[in-house]
């Protein structure tokens, strides 16, 4: 029996993973559930944990911020993430695993079996730490990300980043405007998606807006700098971001012409 904790800021993700483990992984005992890295540290300080199901993108500290404490223990990690499989192929050889949200039952079973074998074989500290470091390095190259998973209340919507026209902030929520005119509201702040989405294609032009430069139709300065997207939406560019926007448009045009 392996003692595990679940670390994820999304309530649906925590509860659904707990249910899947209870129903499908008899050798896993969930010793605790944390909504943040700080809560996870507290659980680790008071429990002997074999395995952590660790979300990567969380407000405040992300999953990687827990790595130093994990490295000083014999705890193993299965990352849960909204990054697509193509972006993660580079890390498959590491002595760790990942689960793409929404979590597939067969992939969960495979990941748990793999982790059980790692623990049974008592991998050396050097190999395990090296694996964690390699994972962090490989995931930091985010230009390969082509899909993200957006929690929608009842589950997740898998969205190609090329279908995102723009994202607007609505208090502590982010509203995704898609090419098919659908809207998906997510209970995460805009900054999290600013950090995740490829910087060459997406730009935060205002405290309340991120735009996909693929959908830029024109921009003008009649009433302050304003963008007009291909779907007709008009987006204001803040004064302090105007010069950065102009530079980004230049570099994006060069990048796009080289394809």
* Bond from prior residue into 187 cis (ω within 30 degrees of 0): no
Q: Which residue has the higher pLDDT, 12 or 167?
A: 167
Lowest mean pLDDT among 45-49, 78-82, 106-110, 208-212: 78-82
**pLDDT > 70 in the chain, percent:** 81
Do 166 and 235 form a contact (C-beta atoms < 8 A)? yes
For residue 139, what pLDDT is reported? 59
| Torsion sign over Cα 210, 171, 150, 2 | positive
For residue 131, what pLDDT is reported? 61
E strand spans, the chain: 2-7, 28-34, 51-55, 76-81, 97-100, 147-151, 156-160, 164-170, 173-178, 183-186, 202-206, 209-212, 216-220, 226-229, 234-236
**pLDDT > 90 in the chain, percent:** 41
For residue 40, what pLDDT is reported? 96
Q: Share the mean pLDDT of the chain.
A: 83
pLDDT class for 130, splitting at 50, 70, 90?
low
For residue 192, what pLDDT is reported? 83
For residue 101, what pLDDT is reported? 85
pLDDT class for 93, splitting at 50, 70, 90?
very low
Do 193 and 174 form a contact (C-beta atoms < 8 A)? yes
For residue 253, what pLDDT is reported? 65
For residue 86, what pLDDT is reported? 45
Lowest mean pLDDT among 115-124, 158-167, 183-192, 196-205: 115-124
Rounded mean pLDDT of 12-34?
95
Rounded mean pLDDT of 211-239?
90
């Amino acid at each position: 029996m392996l003692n595990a904790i679940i670390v994820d800021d999304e309530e649906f993700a925590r509860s659904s993973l707990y249910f899947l483990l209870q129903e499908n992984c008899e050798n896993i005992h969930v010793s605790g559930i944390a909504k943040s890295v700080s809560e996870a540290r507290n659980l680790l300080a008071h429990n002997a944990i074999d395995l952590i199901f660790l979300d990567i993108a969380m407000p405040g500290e992300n999953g990687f911020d827990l790595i130093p404490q994990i490295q000083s223990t014999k705890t193993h990690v299965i990352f849960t993430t909204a990054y697509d499989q193509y972006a993660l192929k580079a890390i498959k050889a590491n002595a760790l695993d990942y689960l793409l949200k929404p979590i597939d039952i067969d992939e969960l079973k495979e990941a748990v079996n793999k982790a059980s074998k790692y623990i049974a074989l008592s991998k050396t500290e050097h190999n395990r730490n090296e694996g964690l470091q390699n994972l962090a390095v490989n995931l930091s190259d985010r230009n390969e990300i082509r899909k993200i998973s957006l929690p929608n209340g009842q589950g997740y919507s898998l969205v190609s980043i090329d279908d995102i026209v723009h994202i607007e902030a609505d208090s502590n929520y982010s509203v995704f405007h898609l090419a098919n005119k659908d809207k998906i509201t997510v209970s995460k702040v805009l900054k999290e998606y600013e950090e995740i989405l490829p910087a060459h294609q997406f730009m935060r032009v205002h405290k309340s807006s991120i735009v996909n430069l693929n959908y830029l139709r024109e921009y003008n300065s009649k009433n302050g700098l304003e963008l007009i997207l291909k779907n007709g939406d008009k987006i204001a560019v803040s004064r302090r971001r105007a010069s950065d926007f102009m530079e980004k448009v230049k570099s994006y045009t060069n990048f796009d012409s080289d394809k």
